[in-house]
Every structure is written in C-alpha cells, then in structure tokens.
Amino acid sequence: MLPKLGTVSAKSSSCSAQNSWKRSVVRADCVQHCLGSRLGAAPSAHRASLVIQRDFERREPYNYLQVAFFQLKKLDQAVSAAHTFFVANPQHLQMREDIEKYRRMSGVKSDNFRDLEAAAHWEAYEAGMQHYNADEYLQAVDRLEESLREALSALEECRALCEGPLEDEEVEEEEDLQPGLYEAIAGTHYIQVLKCRQQCVLEIATKPGWISATEDFIPSHLDLLQFAYDQVGNQALAAECAASYLLFYPMDEPVLEKMKQYHAELGEDTAVTARENIRHYVQRSLMEKKLIYYAMEHLGGTFNDPVSNACLPLSVLTSPTGSLPFEGITVTMDSQQMNGTQRVVFDKVLTESECKDLLRLTKAARGTGDGYRARRSPHTPHERFEGLTILKAMQLAQSGDVDWRDAKLLLQASEKSRKIIESYFTPGKKLHFSFTHLVCRTAVEEEQEGRMDLSHPVHADNCLLDPEGKERWKEPPAYVYRDYSGILYLNDDFRGGSLFFTEMDAVTVTANVHPKCGRLVAFSSGKENPHGVQAVSQGRRCAIALWYTHSAEHAEQERVKAEELMEQRAAEENQSNGEEYRGADRSTRPTSQRHKSVSEGTQHPKELRARDEF
C-alpha cells in the first residue's frame, strides 16, 4: 500500500527543517569555537557596541594615538597616526592645523605621512589609474586586476561581518508586539543581514573621507580592463572583460560594438564568456534584492537600494512601474522617448487657473523673495533671477503681502508633484523634499543681441561633472544627497528657456523639453541626467524647482515650518468661523428649526476654486 502524499510531504518537510536547523547549530558552534580560540574569551566579551564601531569607522583612536605618540617623542608614529585620522576626516580643522605643524617640524619625512588603514584595493586602483592615464597599459592591467581582486575580497569580508547579532533599530514597547519565531528569523534578522550585504558594495566603493561611493566601481574596472587589454593586444581577455561588463549594462552600445569587433578578430567559433566570479556576484546580488523586496511586500519595512552605485542591470531593478495617484495626468514622454534613463514628462499637473494664481505669487519674489530679488542671475548677466522659498511664501501670507490661498497652492502643487514622482520612480519608497523654490528668469531686453550663453549651464544635480574627461565627483559642494529632481512649469509666454539633456560631454543634446503651464519634468539627479536651460531671450519664464531625497535627515526643514504656519492659519480660521456661528445663533435663532426650508436655512458654499481639487 502506497503511503499518502501528505505523509511523504510532511516527513520530507520535517527532515529538511531538521537538517537546516542542524546546519545552523553546527555553524554557530564553529563560530563560537573560532572566536574563543582566536580571542580567548566568551563571545559577548568582544562584541563591540554600535557607538564603538562607529568610532573605529571614523578612525577616532588615531586622534588619541597621535597625541600619545607626540608626548612620547615618537614623532614619526605621531605623524602617521595624525595622517591616518585626517584622511578619513578631511573637514577636521584642528587636525588640519596639526598636520601643517608637523610638516614644518624638523625630522619629519614625507614618508611619515602614510595611511595606516589604507585599503589594498584603493592603493592598487589609484596606481592603476595613474598608469592608465599615462597610456602605460601593461602596468595598468596588473594594478587594475589587483584592485578588482582586492575589492571582491573586501566585499566578501564585509558580507561576512553582516552576520553579527541583531541590531535593535526599533524597540517595541509592548511585549505582545514582539515578533514570533519565524517572523523574527525571516522578517527581522535575516532581512537585516541581506540589507547589510547589499550595502557592502557602497562600503568598498567609498574612499576614506568621502561622503559618497564611487559610482560603477566594480563594472568600471571591467570597462577599463577591456580597453587596456585591447591596447596591449590581448583581445581574448579584452572580450572576457567586455562580456563581464555587459552583465551590468547589457544594452551598452559602445561595448556591444566592441564585442562584435572581438568576435571578428578571435573568430566566430571562439567562445567568449563573462568571468565566473563576476557572474556569481551579479546573480547573488539580484537574488538577495528579490528576497528583500519580497519581504517588504509581505512583511513590511523599507529598503534603501544602492542600485545606482551597485550597478546591477537597470532593466531588472529600476524600471518605473508605479501608477499615477491622480486622474487626468498624462505621460507625454518617457525615458525611451527622451533617449536616456530615469526621465519623464507629465502634462496636466496644474490647470490654467492654478498657473495664473501661482504666477501672481511670483510677483512677490521681485521685491521681497529670497532668491536673488530680481538681481542679475548667478548663471548669466543677460537675465534677472527671482526666487521664493516655500517658507518665505508662508511668511509673506502671514504678514498680508500675498494671498494665503496662493501660498497654500504652492504648498499643495509641490506636494502633488512629489506624489507623482514618487509613485512613478520609487513606488513604496519614501521621497522627502530636499528643497522647493518658485523661480523666474527674466530676459534683460537691452542685452540679448549677440548672446551666446545659456540661462543655466549643463550640470547634474547631485555631483560635479568634468565634461572633458567625462567624469563626475559626487562630493561637496554638490548636493550629494539629492536623488530626484523635478520642474513644474507655470507659463510659456516667453522665448527660449527650454530644458535640455545631454550626454556626459555636456554638448551632445539627447532631449529637449519645452515649458508650458502644468508640465512637470522629472528625472534622477545623478550623472545619467546632465541638463541645462536654453537662454531666455525674451519675456519671463517661471517654474517651481523641486529636489527630493530618500534621506530623512536631509529633508527640507523650511517646509516643516511652512506647514506649521499653514496649520496655525487653518486653526485660526476655524476658531473665527466658530465664533461667528455662535454669535449668529444667539441673535437670529429660528423659531421652528424642524420646519425651516432647505432654501432658507442652508447657506450655499461659494464656488470652489480650481486649487481645491487637491
């Protein structure tokens, strides 16, 4: 007699669970044994707190070491410790002064200024780039290969360290809200480990002292190597590196063309495959991301995906899939139509009436706004620039200089734009306002003849561009925390002023967007979207400039204050209306409320203005 399928399934499931549990216990025992044998104490004795970990990440001990070595008259060690701390803390003014003092001291050698915590992959990478830029491709290959090996090794070490104890980021107050066994394992600790592993690629790609990671760090090695190998005549390895690079960017046309060339040179029968370690890296990271998103969908939580820096296939991970939260809005152009990535144009975000109300608000910017108060633009002497922040608009309304309803409309229109952009690009992932600015650019009529400049030169919103070298630096003074940008146009009765996107060379135009009332253009703020504004040669161009961030700590604080002023105004109006109603109730109380007709007893509301649709 055959056993029931349910019995077989239950036994199989039970055996699988037991084996999994046994492997976990064996691994835990192994970890404890290794810790005990290497460190000679109970595991709890050498688990550092998060505060201590962060101090070591910031290299704080070297700040104390340099003082101690200096007092001990060990000048060479003091200099090395000071330099090691300063590399990771370049904004530390006291250490900057100390470094300058050390440089002037006799007996201090240039070799003493060395980074004791220098990562092997960064040293090899910088040396490789020096050879590469000097056209020394044979030496560049050796150092870049070393850098890639060391980077992948550092990545594995970082991932291993993620398997530490559960970090209580949010402690529940009530005991009955604590997760159960499977929730704790799957929804809390395991997902925390996966998120930590995903962040490791940012950690290895961030130089000490830098705020942000070097974008495309792993794939850029492969791109550089394929070119260097090609220059030294090793087409087989060049093709292997190109195939590996295409795992990250499968639609990269220049590399696809190089692959055709390599196939022709090596022979069509020659198999060209990507490196196995790179294939494993990509597949593993994709699998972990899918697990995290699955957990978010079913168990809740958030995830700041480092996809733009990890550089996994964008077609898999960043295709906009969100539906728009408002009816009547149309997508006029998407990324494909605009010949780029993470770009879109929406129409009918505002009505003609709303645009007119907001344009009325811009008049306040001419004399009392923040911006440049109708002074010459910081970008061109041929235009005047006026700007009004959201808080200033509310303050002007409070003082009676502008209509409260117009100021409120600015608040509502910007929030509507945020919801549209968030739902389109990052559904389920919160976008915070970074900055909101109602801006106008006005042509100086007598200075337009022979004009050759732009209203706003080509730039990216969260990094510095080098068009000649086609490079970028995600470092201050750029607003490195900005993730998405938007421009909500208010008018089109002017000449010029179109927004345009370019390639990294800041010259090759890939798309143009012509302003009009209610048109919202949105795009990611990184190097993938260099953009500028054509000269405004006649009239006045007005728009709401919007920047957004995933980082709550960089959220626009002025907006919080503006919303508080608006809530205060609403409360005062409600109180005033209540007092008026109570006064009317005492003096004109109807004798027979029950039989009073609707037409007599009901006051019809005034016609709603278009802004009330929000």
- Report pLDDT for 458: 92
**Paired tokens of 74:** 């060990």
CB 46 within 8 A of CB 31: no
- Report pLDDT for 467: 74
The rounded radius of gyration (Å) of the Cα atoms in the chain is 31
553 DSSP assignment: G
Q: Write out the H or E segment, with its range, that includes residue 379.
A: none
Task: Please tell me the distance from the alpha carbon of residue 207 to that of residue 218, in angstroms, as a whole number.
Answer: 14
Contacts of 551 (CB under 8 A, 6+ apart): 432, 481
- Report pLDDT for 38: 72
Q: Catalytic pick from 541, 569, 594, 609?
A: 541
Peptide bond into 179 cis (omega under 30): no
Instruction: Tell me which residues of the chain have a pLDDT lower than 50.
Output: 1-10, 169-176, 308-321, 371-374, 581, 584-614
> What CA–CA distances, in Å, run from 21 to 7, 12, 26, 190, 540?
21, 14, 9, 15, 70
DSSP 207-272: -TT-SSPPTTHHHHHHHHHHHHHHHTT-HHHHHHHHHHHTTT-TT-HHHHHHHHHHHHHH-TTS--
pLDDT tens, residue by residue, 96-108: 888 888 988 988 8
| Strand 343-347 to 509-513 pairing | unpaired
- Report pLDDT for 176: 47
Is 541 part of the annotated catalytic residue set? Answer: yes
- Report pLDDT for 464: 85
Task: Please tell me the distance from the alpha carbon of residue 527 to that of residue 45, in angstroms, as a whole number.
Answer: 46
Q: How long a stretch of residues is the chain?
A: 614
Long-range contacts of 264-272 (CB under 8 A, 24+ apart): 265/235, 266/235, 266/236, 266/239, 270/236, 272/239, 272/240, 272/243
Contacts of 544 (CB under 8 A, 6+ apart): 358, 410, 413, 414, 417, 436, 437, 438, 439, 487, 488, 490
Task: Please tell me the distance from the alpha carbon of residue 414 to that of residue 416, in angstroms, as a whole number.
Answer: 5
